Structure 1
Protein backbone atom coordinates (compact mmCIF):
# COMPACT_ATOMS: atom_id res chain seq x y z
CA UNK A 1 0.00 0.00 0.00
CA UNK A 2 1.43 3.32 -1.04
CA UNK A 3 1.48 5.84 1.79
CA UNK A 4 1.71 9.65 1.60
CA UNK A 5 5.28 10.79 1.13
CA UNK A 6 6.75 13.85 2.79
CA UNK A 7 10.51 14.39 2.52
CA UNK A 8 12.00 17.77 3.07
CA UNK A 9 15.03 19.70 4.02
CA UNK A 10 13.73 22.51 6.19
CA UNK A 11 11.80 24.87 3.87
CA UNK A 12 11.04 27.15 6.82
CA UNK A 13 13.75 29.78 7.18
CA UNK A 14 14.16 32.53 9.78
CA UNK A 15 10.84 33.51 11.35
CA UNK A 16 8.61 31.43 9.08
CA UNK A 17 4.86 31.53 9.30
CA UNK A 18 3.26 28.11 9.09
CA UNK A 19 -0.14 26.95 10.29
CA UNK A 20 -1.35 23.36 10.33
CA UNK A 21 -5.11 23.11 10.76
CA UNK A 22 -7.53 20.44 11.91
CA UNK A 23 -10.87 21.43 10.36
CA UNK A 24 -14.09 20.69 12.19
CA UNK A 25 -16.55 18.08 10.96
CA UNK A 26 -18.83 20.90 9.82
CA UNK A 27 -16.04 22.51 7.78
CA UNK A 28 -15.07 19.23 6.15
CA UNK A 29 -18.69 18.51 5.23
CA UNK A 30 -19.84 21.95 4.15
CA UNK A 31 -16.96 24.39 3.56
CA UNK A 32 -13.65 24.90 1.82
CA UNK A 33 -11.09 24.30 4.56
CA UNK A 34 -7.38 24.83 5.23
CA UNK A 35 -5.08 21.92 5.98
CA UNK A 36 -1.80 23.83 5.99
CA UNK A 37 -0.79 27.34 5.02
CA UNK A 38 2.45 29.26 5.31
CA UNK A 39 4.84 31.98 4.26
CA UNK A 40 8.60 31.93 4.10
CA UNK A 41 11.90 32.53 2.33
CA UNK A 42 13.30 29.23 1.13
CA UNK A 43 17.07 29.11 0.90
CA UNK A 44 19.42 27.31 -1.46
CA UNK A 45 18.81 23.58 -1.88
CA UNK A 46 15.70 23.55 0.30
CA UNK A 47 12.69 21.66 -0.97
CA UNK A 48 9.48 19.96 0.07
CA UNK A 49 8.24 16.78 -1.58
CA UNK A 50 4.87 15.08 -1.13
CA UNK A 51 2.31 12.90 -2.90
CA UNK A 52 -1.00 11.01 -2.49
CA UNK A 53 -2.47 13.83 -0.40
CA UNK A 54 -6.22 14.37 -0.29
CA UNK A 55 -5.54 18.03 -0.83
CA UNK A 56 -4.96 20.78 -3.36
CA UNK A 57 -2.09 23.27 -3.28
CA UNK A 58 -1.67 26.88 -4.36
CA UNK A 59 1.85 28.32 -4.32
CA UNK A 60 2.38 32.05 -4.93
CA UNK A 61 5.83 33.51 -5.61
CA UNK A 62 6.46 36.97 -4.12
CA UNK A 63 10.15 37.33 -5.02
CA UNK A 64 13.06 35.22 -6.19
CA UNK A 65 12.47 32.06 -8.17
CA UNK A 66 11.63 28.49 -7.30
CA UNK A 67 11.01 25.22 -9.05
CA UNK A 68 7.99 22.96 -9.10
CA UNK A 69 8.12 19.37 -10.27
CA UNK A 70 4.64 18.05 -10.97
CA UNK A 71 3.51 15.09 -13.04
CA UNK A 72 7.10 14.45 -14.12
CA UNK A 73 7.60 17.96 -15.49
CA UNK A 74 9.70 20.76 -14.02
CA UNK A 75 8.52 24.38 -13.98
CA UNK A 76 10.22 27.58 -12.85
CA UNK A 77 8.13 29.73 -10.51
CA UNK A 78 8.67 33.46 -10.97
CA UNK A 79 7.46 36.53 -9.06
CA UNK A 80 3.79 37.22 -9.67
CA UNK A 81 3.03 33.63 -10.66
CA UNK A 82 0.83 31.08 -8.93
CA UNK A 83 0.75 27.29 -9.23
CA UNK A 84 -2.40 25.27 -8.54
CA UNK A 85 -1.98 21.50 -8.31
CA UNK A 86 -3.71 18.33 -7.13
CA UNK A 87 -1.89 16.92 -4.11
CA UNK A 88 -2.77 13.36 -5.11
CA UNK A 89 0.04 13.58 -7.65
CA UNK A 90 3.70 13.61 -6.72
CA UNK A 91 5.02 17.16 -6.39
CA UNK A 92 8.18 18.81 -5.19
CA UNK A 93 8.87 22.51 -4.81
CA UNK A 94 11.89 24.46 -3.58
CA UNK A 95 14.45 27.16 -4.38
CA UNK A 96 16.53 27.04 -7.54
CA UNK A 97 19.26 29.66 -6.98
CA UNK A 98 21.49 31.26 -4.38
CA UNK A 99 18.83 33.88 -3.69
CA UNK A 100 15.95 33.39 -1.28
CA UNK A 101 12.64 32.35 -2.76
CA UNK A 102 9.82 34.23 -1.03
CA UNK A 103 6.48 32.49 -1.27
CA UNK A 104 3.07 31.77 0.19
CA UNK A 105 1.51 28.33 0.06
CA UNK A 106 -1.73 26.70 1.13
CA UNK A 107 -2.93 23.10 1.17
CA UNK A 108 -6.72 22.96 1.31
CA UNK A 109 -9.76 20.96 0.25
CA UNK A 110 -13.55 21.02 0.07
CA UNK A 111 -16.37 19.55 -1.98
CA UNK A 112 -16.07 22.03 -4.85
CA UNK A 113 -12.29 22.43 -5.11
CA UNK A 114 -11.94 19.87 -7.88
CA UNK A 115 -14.28 21.89 -10.11
CA UNK A 116 -12.11 24.99 -9.72
CA UNK A 117 -8.99 22.93 -10.29
CA UNK A 118 -10.35 21.41 -13.49
CA UNK A 119 -11.06 24.89 -14.85
CA UNK A 120 -7.48 25.89 -14.05
CA UNK A 121 -5.96 22.66 -15.37
CA UNK A 122 -7.38 23.12 -18.87
CA UNK A 123 -4.23 25.04 -19.72
CA UNK A 124 -1.01 23.16 -20.45
CA UNK A 125 1.01 24.27 -17.40
CA UNK A 126 0.07 24.07 -13.71
CA UNK A 127 0.93 27.75 -13.20
CA UNK A 128 -0.32 31.13 -14.36
CA UNK A 129 0.91 34.73 -14.32
CA UNK A 130 -1.36 36.76 -12.08
CA UNK A 131 -3.23 39.72 -13.49
CA UNK A 132 -2.28 43.30 -12.51
CA UNK A 133 -5.35 43.68 -10.30
CA UNK A 134 -4.78 40.39 -8.45
CA UNK A 135 -5.15 40.45 -4.66
CA UNK A 136 -3.71 36.97 -4.08
CA UNK A 137 -0.96 38.12 -1.71
CA UNK A 138 -3.43 39.99 0.49
CA UNK A 139 -5.75 36.98 0.47
CA UNK A 140 -2.94 34.73 1.72
CA UNK A 141 -2.24 37.18 4.55
CA UNK A 142 -5.91 37.24 5.55
CA UNK A 143 -6.09 33.46 5.37
CA UNK A 144 -3.16 33.11 7.75
CA UNK A 145 -4.63 35.59 10.24
CA UNK A 146 -7.80 33.52 10.37
CA UNK A 147 -5.78 30.49 11.50
CA UNK A 148 -4.80 32.16 14.79
CA UNK A 149 -8.11 31.45 16.54
CA UNK A 150 -9.61 28.28 15.04
CA UNK A 151 -13.32 28.64 15.64
CA UNK A 152 -16.50 28.56 13.54
CA UNK A 153 -16.19 32.20 12.53
CA UNK A 154 -12.62 31.66 11.35
CA UNK A 155 -13.61 28.57 9.34
CA UNK A 156 -16.45 30.42 7.62
CA UNK A 157 -14.20 33.37 6.76
CA UNK A 158 -11.38 31.09 5.61
CA UNK A 159 -13.80 29.27 3.31
CA UNK A 160 -14.76 32.56 1.71
CA UNK A 161 -11.09 33.54 1.30
CA UNK A 162 -10.27 30.21 -0.35
CA UNK A 163 -13.04 30.79 -2.89
CA UNK A 164 -11.51 34.21 -3.68
CA UNK A 165 -8.05 32.68 -4.01
CA UNK A 166 -9.22 29.98 -6.39
CA UNK A 167 -11.12 32.61 -8.38
CA UNK A 168 -7.94 34.69 -8.68
CA UNK A 169 -5.85 31.84 -10.07
CA UNK A 170 -8.57 30.58 -12.44
CA UNK A 171 -9.05 34.12 -13.79
CA UNK A 172 -5.29 34.36 -14.27
CA UNK A 173 -5.22 31.02 -16.09
CA UNK A 174 -7.88 32.26 -18.50
CA UNK A 175 -6.24 35.70 -18.68
CA UNK A 176 -9.16 37.95 -17.94
CA UNK A 177 -9.96 39.98 -14.86
CA UNK A 178 -13.22 39.98 -12.94
CA UNK A 179 -13.64 43.71 -13.56
CA UNK A 180 -12.78 43.76 -17.25
CA UNK A 181 -13.01 40.47 -19.17
CA UNK A 182 -10.96 41.51 -22.18
CA UNK A 183 -11.75 38.78 -24.69
CA UNK A 184 -9.78 38.59 -27.95
CA UNK A 185 -11.58 40.20 -30.91
CA UNK A 186 -12.35 36.78 -32.39
CA UNK A 187 -14.13 35.62 -29.24
CA UNK A 188 -15.96 38.92 -28.88
CA UNK A 189 -17.18 38.54 -32.46
CA UNK A 190 -18.37 34.96 -31.96
CA UNK A 191 -20.22 35.90 -28.76
CA UNK A 192 -21.92 38.80 -30.52
CA UNK A 193 -23.05 36.55 -33.37
CA UNK A 194 -24.45 33.96 -30.96
CA UNK A 195 -26.16 36.64 -28.85
CA UNK A 196 -27.83 38.04 -31.97
CA UNK A 197 -28.49 34.90 -34.03
CA UNK A 198 -28.99 32.20 -31.38
CA UNK A 199 -32.36 31.28 -32.98
CA UNK A 200 -30.53 30.08 -36.08
CA UNK A 201 -28.63 26.81 -36.53
CA UNK A 202 -25.14 27.96 -35.55
CA UNK A 203 -22.82 24.97 -35.65
CA UNK A 204 -19.12 25.17 -34.83
CA UNK A 205 -18.35 24.60 -38.53
CA UNK A 206 -20.53 27.53 -39.57
CA UNK A 207 -19.03 29.82 -36.95
CA UNK A 208 -15.50 28.83 -38.00
CA UNK A 209 -16.32 29.44 -41.68
CA UNK A 210 -17.89 32.78 -40.85
CA UNK A 211 -14.74 33.98 -39.08
CA UNK A 212 -12.36 32.11 -41.39
CA UNK A 213 -10.58 30.19 -38.64
CA UNK A 214 -9.89 26.55 -37.86
CA UNK A 215 -12.83 25.15 -35.88
CA UNK A 216 -10.58 23.33 -33.39
CA UNK A 217 -8.64 26.51 -32.70
CA UNK A 218 -11.90 28.41 -32.27
CA UNK A 219 -13.34 25.84 -29.85
CA UNK A 220 -10.16 25.73 -27.77
CA UNK A 221 -9.79 29.51 -27.61
CA UNK A 222 -13.47 30.04 -26.80
CA UNK A 223 -13.33 27.51 -23.96
CA UNK A 224 -10.12 29.01 -22.56
CA UNK A 225 -11.53 32.54 -22.59
CA UNK A 226 -15.11 31.91 -21.45
CA UNK A 227 -14.96 28.60 -19.60
CA UNK A 228 -17.56 27.03 -21.89
CA UNK A 229 -17.92 25.85 -25.50
CA UNK A 230 -19.65 27.85 -28.26
CA UNK A 231 -22.44 25.24 -28.26
CA UNK A 232 -23.00 25.48 -24.52
CA UNK A 233 -22.90 29.28 -24.71
CA UNK A 234 -25.65 29.20 -27.33
CA UNK A 235 -27.79 26.76 -25.33
CA UNK A 236 -27.50 28.96 -22.24
CA UNK A 237 -28.47 31.99 -24.32
CA UNK A 238 -31.56 30.12 -25.59
CA UNK A 239 -32.58 28.94 -22.13
CA UNK A 240 -32.16 32.42 -20.67
CA UNK A 241 -34.37 33.91 -23.38
CA UNK A 242 -36.93 31.13 -22.82
CA UNK A 243 -37.08 32.02 -19.13
CA UNK A 244 -37.77 35.65 -20.04
CA UNK A 245 -40.62 34.60 -22.35
CA UNK A 246 -42.07 32.25 -19.75
CA UNK A 247 -42.27 35.08 -17.22
CA UNK A 248 -43.15 38.00 -19.48
CA UNK A 249 -45.66 36.38 -21.86
CA UNK A 250 -48.46 33.82 -21.89
CA UNK A 251 -47.03 31.99 -24.91
CA UNK A 252 -47.44 28.19 -24.93
CA UNK A 253 -44.29 26.16 -24.33
CA UNK A 254 -44.17 24.99 -27.96
CA UNK A 255 -44.21 28.56 -29.24
CA UNK A 256 -41.45 29.54 -26.82
CA UNK A 257 -39.35 26.63 -28.04
CA UNK A 258 -39.68 27.85 -31.62
CA UNK A 259 -38.96 31.43 -30.54
CA UNK A 260 -35.57 30.41 -29.18
CA UNK A 261 -34.65 28.22 -32.14
CA UNK A 262 -35.62 24.74 -30.94
CA UNK A 263 -38.15 23.03 -33.20
CA UNK A 264 -38.77 19.90 -31.12
CA UNK A 265 -40.87 20.78 -28.05
CA UNK A 266 -39.97 17.60 -26.14
CA UNK A 267 -36.28 18.26 -26.69
CA UNK A 268 -36.74 21.84 -25.49
CA UNK A 269 -38.51 20.67 -22.31
CA UNK A 270 -35.77 18.15 -21.53
CA UNK A 271 -33.05 20.70 -22.24
CA UNK A 272 -34.76 23.34 -20.10
CA UNK A 273 -35.15 20.93 -17.18
CA UNK A 274 -31.55 19.80 -17.49
CA UNK A 275 -30.32 23.42 -17.23
CA UNK A 276 -32.76 24.80 -14.65
CA UNK A 277 -33.97 21.79 -12.67
CA UNK A 278 -37.61 22.50 -13.58
CA UNK A 279 -39.85 21.98 -16.57
CA UNK A 280 -40.81 25.21 -18.38
CA UNK A 281 -44.33 25.21 -16.90
CA UNK A 282 -43.04 24.49 -13.39
CA UNK A 283 -40.54 27.32 -13.80
CA UNK A 284 -43.33 29.68 -14.92
CA UNK A 285 -45.48 28.72 -11.95
CA UNK A 286 -42.72 29.24 -9.40
CA UNK A 287 -41.24 32.42 -10.87
CA UNK A 288 -44.22 34.08 -12.52
CA UNK A 289 -44.39 37.78 -11.70
CA UNK A 290 -47.56 39.21 -10.19
Structure 2
Protein backbone atom coordinates (compact mmCIF):
# COMPACT_ATOMS: atom_id res chain seq x y z
CA UNK A 1 0.00 0.00 0.00
CA UNK A 2 1.32 3.45 -0.90
CA UNK A 3 1.91 5.84 1.97
CA UNK A 4 -0.79 8.20 0.68
CA UNK A 5 -3.34 5.42 1.05
CA UNK A 6 -2.08 4.59 4.54
CA UNK A 7 -2.37 8.26 5.46
CA UNK A 8 -5.98 8.46 4.25
CA UNK A 9 -6.89 5.22 6.01
CA UNK A 10 -5.54 6.59 9.30
CA UNK A 11 -7.56 9.81 9.24
CA UNK A 12 -10.17 9.75 12.00
CA UNK A 13 -12.78 11.27 9.70
CA UNK A 14 -12.72 12.30 6.06
CA UNK A 15 -15.07 15.12 6.99
CA UNK A 16 -12.26 16.97 8.75
CA UNK A 17 -10.58 17.61 5.42
CA UNK A 18 -11.72 20.98 4.16
CA UNK A 19 -13.53 20.29 0.84
CA UNK A 20 -12.16 23.44 -0.78
CA UNK A 21 -8.57 22.31 -0.24
CA UNK A 22 -6.93 19.74 -2.52
CA UNK A 23 -5.98 16.42 -0.95
CA UNK A 24 -2.41 16.98 -2.14
CA UNK A 25 -2.20 19.81 0.40
CA UNK A 26 -2.75 17.33 3.20
CA UNK A 27 -1.12 14.19 1.92
CA UNK A 28 2.67 14.12 1.62
CA UNK A 29 4.35 13.03 -1.57
CA UNK A 30 4.84 9.26 -1.29
CA UNK A 31 8.38 7.93 -1.55
CA UNK A 32 8.59 4.29 -2.74
CA UNK A 33 10.99 1.96 -0.91
CA UNK A 34 12.17 -1.57 -1.66
CA UNK A 35 11.32 -4.39 0.74
CA UNK A 36 14.98 -5.02 1.58
CA UNK A 37 15.65 -1.38 2.38
CA UNK A 38 12.51 -1.08 4.52
CA UNK A 39 13.83 -3.90 6.71
CA UNK A 40 17.38 -2.62 7.03
CA UNK A 41 17.46 1.16 6.64
CA UNK A 42 15.82 4.38 7.69
CA UNK A 43 13.48 5.17 4.83
CA UNK A 44 11.36 8.09 3.73
CA UNK A 45 7.64 7.46 3.43
CA UNK A 46 6.45 10.94 2.55
CA UNK A 47 7.78 14.44 2.18
CA UNK A 48 6.28 17.87 1.62
CA UNK A 49 7.31 21.53 1.54
CA UNK A 50 3.91 23.12 2.12
CA UNK A 51 2.43 26.60 2.08
CA UNK A 52 -1.10 26.31 3.46
CA UNK A 53 -3.85 28.81 4.14
CA UNK A 54 -6.78 28.75 6.55
CA UNK A 55 -8.75 26.63 7.00
CA UNK A 56 -6.31 23.74 7.37
CA UNK A 57 -6.89 20.88 9.80
CA UNK A 58 -6.62 17.12 10.09
CA UNK A 59 -6.72 14.51 12.84
CA UNK A 60 -5.03 11.14 12.57
CA UNK A 61 -4.17 8.02 14.56
CA UNK A 62 -2.46 4.64 14.11
CA UNK A 63 -0.32 5.73 11.18
CA UNK A 64 2.75 3.50 10.99
CA UNK A 65 5.20 6.37 10.74
CA UNK A 66 7.18 9.05 12.53
CA UNK A 67 6.84 12.74 11.71
CA UNK A 68 9.30 15.63 11.85
CA UNK A 69 7.72 19.00 11.09
CA UNK A 70 9.74 22.19 10.79
CA UNK A 71 8.05 25.61 10.53
CA UNK A 72 9.61 28.26 8.31
CA UNK A 73 6.93 30.99 8.43
CA UNK A 74 3.51 31.52 9.95
CA UNK A 75 2.05 29.49 12.82
CA UNK A 76 0.46 26.11 13.35
CA UNK A 77 -0.93 24.17 16.29
CA UNK A 78 -0.46 20.49 17.14
CA UNK A 79 -2.29 18.57 19.85
CA UNK A 80 -0.44 15.44 20.94
CA UNK A 81 -0.35 13.28 24.08
CA UNK A 82 -2.68 15.59 25.97
CA UNK A 83 -0.73 18.78 25.25
CA UNK A 84 -1.07 21.58 22.70
CA UNK A 85 1.95 23.23 21.09
CA UNK A 86 2.16 26.47 19.12
CA UNK A 87 4.46 25.97 16.14
CA UNK A 88 6.23 29.19 15.18
CA UNK A 89 9.02 30.01 12.73
CA UNK A 90 12.16 28.07 13.64
CA UNK A 91 10.35 25.46 15.72
CA UNK A 92 10.57 21.72 15.12
CA UNK A 93 8.50 18.80 16.39
CA UNK A 94 9.19 15.05 16.32
CA UNK A 95 6.28 12.70 17.03
CA UNK A 96 5.19 9.07 16.80
CA UNK A 97 2.22 8.92 14.40
CA UNK A 98 0.91 5.71 15.93
CA UNK A 99 -0.46 8.01 18.64
CA UNK A 100 -3.39 10.30 18.00
CA UNK A 101 -2.57 13.85 16.96
CA UNK A 102 -4.24 16.79 15.25
CA UNK A 103 -2.69 19.61 13.26
CA UNK A 104 -4.23 22.93 12.24
CA UNK A 105 -3.18 26.37 11.10
CA UNK A 106 -3.14 29.11 13.73
CA UNK A 107 -5.17 32.30 13.40
CA UNK A 108 -3.00 33.67 10.61
CA UNK A 109 -3.14 33.90 6.85
CA UNK A 110 -0.61 31.24 5.96
CA UNK A 111 1.75 28.60 7.31
CA UNK A 112 4.90 27.38 5.56
CA UNK A 113 6.48 24.15 6.81
CA UNK A 114 8.42 21.04 5.86
CA UNK A 115 7.03 17.70 6.98
CA UNK A 116 8.94 14.43 6.76
CA UNK A 117 7.32 11.05 7.39
CA UNK A 118 9.76 8.19 7.86
CA UNK A 119 10.28 4.78 9.45
CA UNK A 120 12.69 1.90 9.69
CA UNK A 121 16.15 1.64 11.14
CA UNK A 122 16.36 2.87 14.71
CA UNK A 123 13.39 5.26 14.42
CA UNK A 124 11.82 4.19 17.70
CA UNK A 125 15.15 4.41 19.51
CA UNK A 126 15.77 7.97 18.28
CA UNK A 127 12.21 8.96 19.18
CA UNK A 128 12.55 7.60 22.71
CA UNK A 129 15.82 9.48 23.16
CA UNK A 130 14.17 12.65 21.92
CA UNK A 131 11.18 12.57 24.28
CA UNK A 132 13.06 11.63 27.42
CA UNK A 133 12.04 15.06 28.81
CA UNK A 134 8.43 14.64 27.57
CA UNK A 135 8.70 17.57 25.15
CA UNK A 136 8.20 17.13 21.41
CA UNK A 137 9.27 20.64 20.35
CA UNK A 138 12.54 22.53 20.09
CA UNK A 139 13.40 25.95 18.67
CA UNK A 140 16.40 25.91 16.37
CA UNK A 141 19.19 28.41 16.81
CA UNK A 142 20.10 30.73 13.93
CA UNK A 143 23.11 28.68 12.85
CA UNK A 144 21.68 25.20 13.21
CA UNK A 145 22.56 22.81 10.35
CA UNK A 146 19.06 21.33 10.44
CA UNK A 147 17.40 23.77 7.97
CA UNK A 148 20.14 22.90 5.47
CA UNK A 149 19.32 19.20 5.85
CA UNK A 150 15.68 19.98 5.04
CA UNK A 151 16.80 21.91 1.98
CA UNK A 152 18.88 18.91 0.97
CA UNK A 153 15.83 16.65 1.33
CA UNK A 154 13.75 19.05 -0.70
CA UNK A 155 16.06 18.64 -3.67
CA UNK A 156 17.06 15.01 -3.17
CA UNK A 157 14.26 12.87 -1.72
CA UNK A 158 13.36 10.72 -4.73
CA UNK A 159 14.14 7.00 -4.43
CA UNK A 160 14.47 5.22 -7.76
CA UNK A 161 17.47 3.02 -6.94
CA UNK A 162 19.08 1.35 -3.94
CA UNK A 163 21.66 4.15 -3.92
CA UNK A 164 18.87 6.73 -3.63
CA UNK A 165 17.52 4.76 -0.66
CA UNK A 166 20.98 4.66 0.91
CA UNK A 167 21.29 8.43 0.43
CA UNK A 168 17.89 9.02 2.04
CA UNK A 169 18.80 6.76 4.95
CA UNK A 170 22.04 8.69 5.48
CA UNK A 171 20.18 12.02 5.32
CA UNK A 172 17.61 10.83 7.86
CA UNK A 173 20.41 9.65 10.14
CA UNK A 174 22.01 13.09 9.87
CA UNK A 175 18.68 14.81 10.53
CA UNK A 176 17.79 12.70 13.56
CA UNK A 177 21.28 12.98 15.03
CA UNK A 178 21.36 16.77 14.61
CA UNK A 179 17.93 17.05 16.23
CA UNK A 180 19.21 15.17 19.28
CA UNK A 181 22.38 17.28 19.34
CA UNK A 182 20.25 20.44 19.11
CA UNK A 183 18.06 19.37 21.99
CA UNK A 184 21.07 18.47 24.08
CA UNK A 185 22.63 21.82 23.19
CA UNK A 186 19.50 23.59 24.46
CA UNK A 187 19.94 21.77 27.74
CA UNK A 188 23.61 22.71 27.92
CA UNK A 189 22.80 26.35 27.20
CA UNK A 190 21.34 26.42 30.69
CA UNK A 191 24.74 25.39 32.03
CA UNK A 192 27.73 27.70 32.27
CA UNK A 193 29.37 27.71 28.85
CA UNK A 194 32.94 29.09 29.08
CA UNK A 195 33.02 32.74 28.06
CA UNK A 196 35.79 32.18 25.53
CA UNK A 197 33.66 29.55 23.71
CA UNK A 198 30.79 32.04 23.50
CA UNK A 199 33.21 34.67 22.25
CA UNK A 200 34.49 32.41 19.45
CA UNK A 201 30.90 31.51 18.56
CA UNK A 202 29.98 35.21 18.28
CA UNK A 203 33.04 35.89 16.14
CA UNK A 204 32.06 33.15 13.70
CA UNK A 205 28.47 34.40 13.51
CA UNK A 206 29.28 38.09 13.09
CA UNK A 207 32.58 37.94 11.19
CA UNK A 208 32.33 34.69 9.24
CA UNK A 209 34.24 36.24 6.31
CA UNK A 210 37.48 36.52 8.27
CA UNK A 211 40.29 33.95 8.33
CA UNK A 212 40.47 31.71 11.41
CA UNK A 213 42.82 28.98 12.57
CA UNK A 214 42.93 26.92 15.74
CA UNK A 215 46.52 28.00 16.27
CA UNK A 216 45.53 31.69 16.19
CA UNK A 217 42.58 31.08 18.53
CA UNK A 218 44.81 29.12 20.90
CA UNK A 219 47.24 32.04 21.04
CA UNK A 220 44.47 34.60 21.53
CA UNK A 221 42.73 32.75 24.39
CA UNK A 222 45.82 31.12 25.90
CA UNK A 223 44.31 27.65 25.55
CA UNK A 224 45.58 24.65 23.67
CA UNK A 225 43.92 24.16 20.28
CA UNK A 226 42.94 20.64 21.36
CA UNK A 227 41.11 22.00 24.40
CA UNK A 228 39.35 24.64 22.29
CA UNK A 229 38.19 22.02 19.80
CA UNK A 230 37.14 19.57 22.53
CA UNK A 231 35.15 22.12 24.56
CA UNK A 232 33.59 23.73 21.48
CA UNK A 233 32.25 20.32 20.41
CA UNK A 234 31.16 19.50 23.96
CA UNK A 235 29.04 22.65 24.33
CA UNK A 236 27.94 23.39 20.74
CA UNK A 237 27.85 19.87 19.24
CA UNK A 238 29.97 20.94 16.25
CA UNK A 239 33.69 21.42 15.70
CA UNK A 240 34.83 25.03 15.29
CA UNK A 241 35.43 24.59 11.54
CA UNK A 242 32.00 23.00 10.96
CA UNK A 243 30.29 25.75 12.94
CA UNK A 244 32.09 28.36 10.83
CA UNK A 245 31.12 26.52 7.63
CA UNK A 246 27.45 26.58 8.71
CA UNK A 247 27.67 30.34 9.32
CA UNK A 248 29.19 30.85 5.88
CA UNK A 249 26.68 28.63 4.08
CA UNK A 250 23.74 30.42 5.73
CA UNK A 251 25.20 33.76 4.65
CA UNK A 252 25.68 32.41 1.12
CA UNK A 253 22.04 31.26 0.96
CA UNK A 254 20.87 34.72 1.91
CA UNK A 255 23.14 36.42 -0.65
CA UNK A 256 22.08 34.04 -3.42
CA UNK A 257 18.42 34.94 -2.91
CA UNK A 258 18.66 38.62 -2.03
CA UNK A 259 21.45 39.93 -4.28
CA UNK A 260 22.76 39.61 -7.81
CA UNK A 261 26.36 39.04 -6.80
CA UNK A 262 28.17 36.43 -8.88
CA UNK A 263 29.11 33.08 -7.37
CA UNK A 264 32.74 34.21 -7.29
CA UNK A 265 31.80 37.40 -5.45
CA UNK A 266 29.65 35.55 -2.92
CA UNK A 267 32.45 33.06 -2.27
CA UNK A 268 34.81 35.93 -1.51
CA UNK A 269 32.25 37.83 0.60
CA UNK A 270 31.75 34.86 2.95
CA UNK A 271 35.48 34.29 3.38
CA UNK A 272 36.22 31.48 0.91
CA UNK A 273 38.81 32.53 -1.67
CA UNK A 274 38.61 29.31 -3.71
CA UNK A 275 35.29 29.39 -5.59
CA UNK A 276 35.47 25.71 -6.54
CA UNK A 277 35.86 24.83 -2.86
CA UNK A 278 32.85 27.02 -2.01
CA UNK A 279 30.73 25.27 -4.65
CA UNK A 280 31.72 21.84 -3.31
CA UNK A 281 30.93 22.86 0.28
CA UNK A 282 27.59 24.37 -0.72
CA UNK A 283 26.53 21.30 -2.70
CA UNK A 284 27.59 18.99 0.13
CA UNK A 285 25.53 21.04 2.59
CA UNK A 286 22.50 21.91 0.46
CA UNK A 287 22.38 19.08 -2.06
CA UNK A 288 22.48 21.52 -5.00
CA UNK A 289 25.02 23.92 -6.47
CA UNK A 290 24.82 27.64 -5.59
CA UNK A 291 23.63 28.46 -9.12
CA UNK A 292 20.78 25.94 -9.00
CA UNK A 293 19.85 27.16 -5.53
CA UNK A 294 19.63 30.73 -6.87
CA UNK A 295 17.36 29.61 -9.71
CA UNK A 296 14.79 28.45 -7.15
CA UNK A 297 14.43 31.80 -5.40
CA UNK A 298 10.86 33.17 -5.24
Name the SS for the 1:162 alignment partner: helix
Please state how far the C-alpha of 1:127 moved relative to its aligned partner: 0.6
Match of 1:55 in 2: 65
Name the SS for the 2:94 alignment partner: strand
Contact kept, 8 Å, 1:11 with 1:48, in 2: the verdict is no
Match of 2:122 in 1: 112
Match of 1:66 in 2: 76
Please state how far the C-alpha of 1:184 moved relative to its aligned partner: 1.4
Match of 2:11 in 1: 5
Q: Does 1:151 align with 2:170?
A: no
Residue 184 (structure 1) aligned to one of 182, 188, 191? 191
Residue 37 (structure 2) aligned to one of 19, 24, 27? 27
Larger Rg belongs to: 1
CA distance in 2, matches of 1:41, 1:97: 15
Q: Which runs of 5+ in 1 are unaligned?
A: 187-224, 226-290
Residue 39 (structure 1) aligned to one of 29, 49, 56? 49
CA distance in 2, matches of 1:157, 1:22: 14
Superposed CA RMSD: 3.1
Contact kept, 8 Å, 2:25 with 2:52, in 1: the verdict is no
Q: Does 1:102 align with 2:76?
A: no
Please state how far the C-alpha of 1:99 moved relative to its aligned partner: 1.9
CA distance in 1, matches of 2:136, 2:95: 6
Q: Greater helix share, 1 or 2?
A: 2
CA distance in 2, matches of 1:5, 1:16: 11
Contact kept, 8 Å, 1:55 with 1:109, in 2: the verdict is yes
Closer/same/farther in 2, CA of residues 173 and 12 from structure 1, 3 Å limit: farther
Please state how far the C-alpha of 1:16 moved relative to its aligned partner: 9.6
Name the SS for the 2:32 alignment partner: coil
Q: Which stretch of the first structure deviates more once superposed, 22-31 or 138-147? A: 138-147
Residue 167 (structure 1) aligned to one of 172, 177, 185? 177
Name the SS for the 2:33 alignment partner: coil
CA distance in 1, matches of 2:42, 2:139: 24
Runs (4+) of structure 1 moved beyond 6 Å?
10-17
Closer/same/farther in 2, CA of residues 75 and 139 from structure 1, 3 Å limit: same
Contact kept, 8 Å, 2:33 with 2:159, in 1: the verdict is no
Please state how far the C-alpha of 1:166 moved relative to its aligned partner: 1.0
Name the SS for the 1:148 alignment partner: coil
Q: Which runs of 5+ in 2 are unaligned?
A: 1-8, 194-234, 236-298
Name the SS for the 1:121 alignment partner: helix
Contact kept, 8 Å, 1:136 with 1:165, in 2: the verdict is yes
Residue 137 (structure 1) aligned to one of 137, 140, 147? 147
Deviation per CA, 1:92-149, whole angstroms, max 9, x where unpaired? 1121123211000011011301111111101232111113322222212322333335
Deviation per CA, 1:165-184, whole angstroms, max 9, x where unpaired? 1122222222359xxx7671
